[in-house]
């Protein structure tokens, strides 16, 4: 395979920060050459703009506007075939809680490039690594120049809802939830793409068993006598079954692979699967995760295939308890098997004047957290930050021009 075109130089293009009443100024070019330790927070600072004030009389929880960065491939090279020897893990655990993560310095520019570089696994078992560059462009601009884990994750009364009946299961948004053959959940985010957790296919060292022949399952009605769902003689389906589609290739960020041993990996526990053929269902777009205080009711939603309710799609919602730049801490009831579920919210989209659901995170797993000397447990979701959005969108679209709106 031929690698993507190389970028000519390690340069970030930064827009001049003009006041709203002034005419925008020309581009300012800041070379990163010779400054490998330049902090990434400057890049992150430039990504969030246009926040909506909650004090308006007619305020609606509105999707914020962002000036998004661009994550572009720089070079691609072949890797040796993996052995696919890891056991599938339906959840991950970490002892590094909110305060621990908040105390971790933001990555430098060079570190961010390493974490957002990625591995691609193909159906024939071949594997490549792609190194990336990070850029910030003005909207509409042309090409850039250069402790122990316990089984239960139920908090008090079990507030999960099993979704029954094809009228619900086959309709949006529940129809966007799919099951991976490794046991996890995924979410349809494009015509041929599924977003899930990285640990569902890779343990941080190698790929899990079955990943080379990875399949994605779609629930559909199972009728007696071979009658189809559109057959007027059909009675109610006796049960649902999975229809499977093979995966063509997978993308896993190097932040998960490189950082898995030191809790940094939890921030990058996401992966994208490309199917061999379109699934022909409505999908849910990804979006940049707003701050928890801007979420409607401070609440998130997700559906998954919890393994204590085999064959059932399980929906839940709950309040966000805490957050870091990369993670959302909540106590949504969940069991192994729900990992990889897309965490979504429904907010007002000002441009189209309509309500829209978007995936803002990926349910990852469970954490024990030391809160004032007392252990407390949370379920954790990986937030889709501007950089992660840019990366995942590029994986889906194959170009950055279609990834300007987060």
Q: Residue 200: which of 256, 254, 116 has the closest Cα?
A: 256
Catalytic residue among 193, 199, 202, 301: 199
- Is-contact 182 200, C-beta < 8 A? yes
Q: Tally the residues of the chain.
A: 406
199 is catalytic: yes
Helix (H, G, I), strand (E, B) or coil at 175: helix
11 Cα distance to chain centroid? 27
> What is the CB neighbour count within 10 angstroms for residue 174?
14
Gap between the Cα atoms of 396 and 270, Å rounded? 14
Residue 294 tokens read as 């801007």
- Helix axes 386-397 and 109-116, enclosed angle (nearest 10): 40
Gap between the Cα atoms of 364 and 49, Å rounded? 28
Q: Phi, psi at residue 30, to the nearest 5°?
A: -110, 115
Burial class, 234, CB count within 10 angstroms (exposed 0-12 / middle 13-18 / buried 19+): middle
339 is catalytic: yes
Catalytic residue among 38, 93, 234, 263: 263
Catalytic residue among 177, 181, 303, 339: 339
Give first-to-last CA distance, the chain, whole Å. Answer: 30
Active site residues: 199, 263, 339
């Amino acid at each position: 395979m031929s690698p993507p075109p190389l970028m000519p130089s390690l340069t970030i293009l930064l827009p001049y920060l003009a006041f709203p009443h002034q005419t925008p100024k020309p581009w300012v070019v800041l070379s990163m050459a010779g400054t490998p330790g330049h902090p990434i927070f400057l890049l992150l600072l430039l990504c969030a703009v246009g926040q909506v004030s909650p004090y308006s009389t007619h305020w609606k929880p509105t999707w914020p506007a962002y000036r998004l960065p661009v994550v572009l491939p720089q070079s691609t090279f072949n890797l040796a075939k993996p052995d696919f020897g890891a056991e599938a893990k339906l959840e991950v655990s970490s002892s590094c809680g909110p305060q621990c993560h908040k105390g971790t310095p933001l990555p430098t520019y060079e570190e961010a490039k390493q974490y957002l570089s990625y591995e691609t696994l193909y159906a024939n078992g071949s594997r490549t690594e792609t190194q990336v560059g990070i850029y910030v462009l003005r909207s509409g601009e042309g090409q850039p120049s250069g402790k122990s884990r316990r089984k239960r994750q139920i908090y008090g009364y079990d507030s999960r809802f099993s979704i029954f009946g094809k009228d619900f299961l086959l309709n949006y948004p529940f129809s966007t939830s799919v099951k991976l053959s490794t046991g996890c959940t995924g979410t349809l985010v494009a015509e041929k793409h599924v977003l899930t957790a990285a640990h569902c296919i890779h343990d941080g060292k190698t790929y899990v068993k079955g990943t080379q022949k990875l399949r994605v399952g779609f629930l559909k009605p199972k009728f007696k006598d071979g009658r189809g769902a559109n057959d007027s003689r059909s009675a109610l389906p006796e049960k649902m079954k999975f229809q499977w589609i093979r995966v063509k290739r997978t993308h896993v960020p190097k932040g998960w692979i490189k950082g898995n041993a030191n809790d940094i990996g939890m921030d990058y526990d996401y992966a994208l699967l490309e199917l061999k053929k379109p699934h022909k269902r409505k999908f849910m777009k990804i979006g940049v995760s707003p701050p928890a205080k801007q979420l409607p009711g401070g609440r998130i939603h997700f559906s998954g295939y919890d393994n204590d309710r085999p064959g059932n799609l399980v929906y839940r919602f709950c309040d966000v308890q805490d957050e870091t730049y990369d993670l959302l801490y909540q106590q949504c009831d969940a069991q192994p098997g729900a990992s990889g579920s897309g965490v979504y919210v429904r907010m007002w989209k000002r441009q189209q004047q309509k309500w829209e659901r978007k995936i803002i995170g990926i349910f990852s797993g469970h954490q024990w957290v030391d809160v004032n000397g007392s252990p407390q447990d949370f379920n954790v979701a990986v937030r889709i930050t501007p950089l992660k959005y840019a990366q995942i969108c590029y994986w889906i679209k194959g170009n950055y021009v279609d990834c300007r709106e987060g």
